[in-house]
Structure 1
């Protein structure tokens, strides 16, 4: 499961009461909106969100959340209609420029995939998670459309950091949220940081485990270098003023399996192999 978060830097969360077809957000939002997003960058993801208790929305909420893995910001505002989203400069926002849209948002978002029309696993396993989190006044939890990784359900994305947590139950989801709000990452359920490539996600995860570093804000620097004529990647990671050098590569494909709860072909994935992990030095990065 580790290092399998789909790459995303800009998240566009749009309140929509449903119903959500399997293709959502496509087929729900105006074509001009999805075209504007698609024309921006590949690392932009649109999620529809909703509160289970709100089935009529006069002015939908829109939340923009951006992170490059180190820096992050969020903004939120209300929409008169969904077509207003075409006025947003998605290309510059995706590059990290914070827009004038709405107002800054400081409270993290916990987006739980419950997109049953996309895959039954998401609804069956995601809704109990949502129910567990909405009973807490500390967690701003929302239902959302597909975030990827049906096999890892229940899935939750924490924004603005873009952290995927997976294979959650009601109790473990509360534990993950409580830990995050206390500044701690629950590594056993951490699937990856969406702002990074898969090798970089694997390296951060491995370095955190090796160093026993779980602070949310510990990550200070990350740089990856692909080896020429090789499938290995060297990643330099600075965590809590400690430096790690991690070499990872894609392992051999695993036994094919059926992915998710719906119909579909079998897939064969690989696990990430850590070929080398070395703590280079301690002290301030520089």
Structure 2
């Protein structure tokens, strides 16, 4: 049975902060086309043997497995095993695709070293994932399914429904691969704006959760530098170093624009936001607030 949505409506409408909430443990991805059924959790879902082999192998290697399917369409039962692999790590992420006769034909060990497996071919176009995992949370299906169909109509061939991506409180969730950019609480207008921006190498700060695989305080530091500078290019802002000082995280963040490169000292601290539906229900959201942001001179960079 699908878990009902227990989160206040403000979370799904974009009224609550979503920054610094992208899934930290997703630097490498395995995406396997499987029309379903999707159980609540992949580790105990009833899956065909070949898919189970790949999901278990990926999980053991620290690769994030996702099941995917085309919005409104189903894969032919006798079709070969269709997979994508992606590396979101570093400054040169990539996405690759393969059709396999045997799961052993996919070298996932190469993936964790950032190398494209020999059975895969690089994909030039981006990939957009919309979580529609209703068996995990009812809101993911209620909000995600119409969003996936809308995006598929506007970006044919680039959109997939997927299993849980993390943060069902932010449904509808959108993930842009290969960079692993997360967006939450997405309306149709917000989603198409984010997808089109990504196709041009940029982010949209509205409802931007952050980049997967990066610790949450560092996601927050990058977010606040983007807010200060207005720099939206995907690779234009990145944390170069960080350290903890009590509860705070101190970062040096590089920002590269057409005018050159600047560096900022950014200090972020944990914070709590209470989202309320206006009656008795409320949700406590862990987030980050900006404690300090200043540009460094060359002597201090």
For normalisation by structure 2, the TM-score amounts to 0.81
* Aligned match of 1:231: 247
- Counterpart among 255, 265, 269 of residue 249 in structure 1: 269
SS in 2 for 1:22: coil
- 1:254, CA displacement in angstroms? 4.4
- 1:88, CA displacement in angstroms? 3.9
Contact kept, 8 Å, 1:67 with 1:160, in 2: the verdict is: yes
Alignment of 1:183 with 2:201, yes or no, is: yes
Contact kept, 8 Å, 2:28 with 2:64, in 1: the verdict is: yes
Alignment of 1:3 with 2:20, yes or no, is: yes
Aligned counterparts, 1:123-272, within 5 A:
123-137=141-155, 140-219=158-237, 221-228=238-245, 230-240=246-256, 241-251=261-271, 253-255=272-274, 268-272=284-288
- Counterpart among 95, 100, 109 of residue 79 in structure 1: 100
Contact kept, 8 Å, 2:43 with 2:56, in 1: the verdict is: no
Rounded Cα–Cα distance in structure 2 between residues aligned with 1:247 and 1:90: 37
- 1:90, CA displacement in angstroms? 3.2
* Aligned match of 1:46: 65
RMSD (CA atoms) = 2.5
Provide the aligned length of Structure 1 versus Structure 2.
269
- 1:182, CA displacement in angstroms? 2.4
Rounded Cα–Cα distance in structure 2 between residues aligned with 1:196 and 1:160: 14
Long gaps (5+) in structure 2: 1-17
SS in 2 for 1:12: strand
- 1:246, CA displacement in angstroms? 1.0
- 1:141, CA displacement in angstroms? 0.5
Rounded Cα–Cα distance in structure 1 between residues aligned with 2:81 and 2:292: 48
- 1:87, CA displacement in angstroms? 5.0
**Structure 1 pair 55–97 and aligned structure 2 pair: CA distance change class (3 A):** closer
Which one scores higher on RCO, CA 8 angstroms, separation ≥ 6? 2
